[in-house]
Amino acid sequence: MSKLRLLFQKEAQAAYISHLDLLRTFQRSFARSGLELRHSQGFHPHPIISIVLPLPVGQSSDCELVDFEVTADCDGSGIAEQMNQGLPAGLHVLDCYVPQRPAGQLAQLEAEVLLDYDAGVPAEALPRLRELFARPELVTQKRTKRKDLADVDIAPLIRSIRMEEQPHQIRCLVTVQAQNPGLNPQLLERAIATHLPELTPDFVRVRRLRFLDEQGNVFR
């Protein structure tokens, strides 16, 4: 029996696969790769598999992690190649290995947030957005698990943010707190819409780039 971790990309069409559907997709992918997952021992046994930090539907990622247990003893070598022969478009396994660190040590998330302005980036948008995200307090409405709205101050959850202007687009490179509580980078848009409504972008794309630990080292 071995505990293993997959590092994978999720992008393009696969960005729309929901968390539960992704678990099912991996279970089937493991099965067709000939990997036997270890099952829980209860009355209704279920395979032991968990996604470390679920990715919101619609976002892309270069650094997703899924932990699972297989019945065989193995160090994960060869599994990535095997799985990549048959995955849905937009899913790509980068590595499979025995995890060295528990998921709890994942503390920060580095993401690219692209703000699209179809009619061109408004004048002065870049300095004004920089000012916005430098404020000591940035109260934004967030949907809670009970589906109602709650005010959260996202400023302390943003560890760093850099922005640059591109044609019809502002590119933000943001590092946010990942867990307990974490910040969904998509909320940057909500913050803009709330505090600088005239700078609300026409469309926002989020892509996770790296997970980091508390010290800023890559977590994988």
Partner 1 sequence: MDKRLERILPRVQKPARYTGGEYNAVIKDAAGVDTRIAFCFPDTYEIGMSNLGMRILYGVMNQMPGVWCQRVFAPWGDMEQEMRQASMPLFALESGEPITDFDIVAFSIGYEMAFPAVLNMLDLAGIPFHAKERTGLTPLVIAGGTAMYNPEPLADFVDLVSLGEGEEVTVELIELHRTARREGWSKERFLQAAAQLDGVYVPSLYDVTYHADGTVEAIVPREGAPAKVTKRIIHDMDKSYFPVKTIVPSTEIVQDRVTLELFRGCIRGCRFCQAGYVYRPVRNRSRDLCAQYGIEACADTGYQEMTLSSLSTSDYPQLTELCDELDAYCTEHHVNLSLPSLRADNFSMALMQRLAKGRKSGLTFAPEAGTQRLRDVINKNVTQEDLLQSCATAFAGGYNAVKLYFMLGLPTETDEDVLGIADLAARVMHTWRETASNKARGVRITVSTSWFVPKPHTAFQWEPQISKEEYRRRVKLLQEAIKTKTVTYNWHDADTSFLEAILARGDRRLGKVLETAWRKGAKLDAWEEYFSLDRWLEAFDDCGLDPHFYANRRREKDEVMPWSMISSGVTEAYLWREHEKAFAAQTTPDCRTRCNGCGANHLVGGTCDV
Kindly state the smallest distance separating residue 43's Cβ from partner 1, in Å: 9
- Residue 147 contacts partner 1 per CB under 8 A: no
- Judged by beta carbon, residue 15 or residue 107, the one nearer partner 1 is 15
* Other residues' Cβ atoms within 10 Å of the Cβ of residue 81: 11
Out of 3, 19, 24, 143, the only residue in the binding site for partner 1 (CB under 8 A) is 24
Dist. CA 182–CA 199, nearest whole Å: 25
Q: What is the DSSP string of 99-157?
A: -SS-GGG--EEEEEEEEE-TT-PPTTHHHHHHHHHHSS--EEEEE-TTSSEEEEE-GGG
| Segment interacting with partner 1, rule: CB under 8 A, options 13-21, 94-102, 133-141, 156-164 | 13-21
- Residue 19 contacts partner 1 per CB under 8 A: no
Q: Give 71-79 contacts, CB < 8 A, sequence gap 24+.
A: 71/1, 71/36, 71/37, 71/38, 72/1, 72/2, 72/35, 72/36, 73/1, 73/2, 74/2, 74/4, 75/2, 76/2, 76/4, 76/5, 79/4, 79/6, 79/33, 79/35
- Judged by beta carbon, residue 11 or residue 165, the one nearer partner 1 is 11
- Residue 45 contacts partner 1 per CB under 8 A: yes
| Segment interacting with partner 1, rule: CB under 8 A, options 11-19, 143-151, 159-167, 212-220 | 11-19
String of contacts with partner 1 for each residue 184-203, x by CB under 8 A: -------------------x
Kindly state the smallest distance separating residue 88's Cβ from partner 1, in Å: 5
Q: What is the binding site for partner 1 (CB under 8 A)?
A: 12-14, 16-18, 20-22, 24-25, 27-33, 36, 39, 44-45, 57-58, 86-90, 203
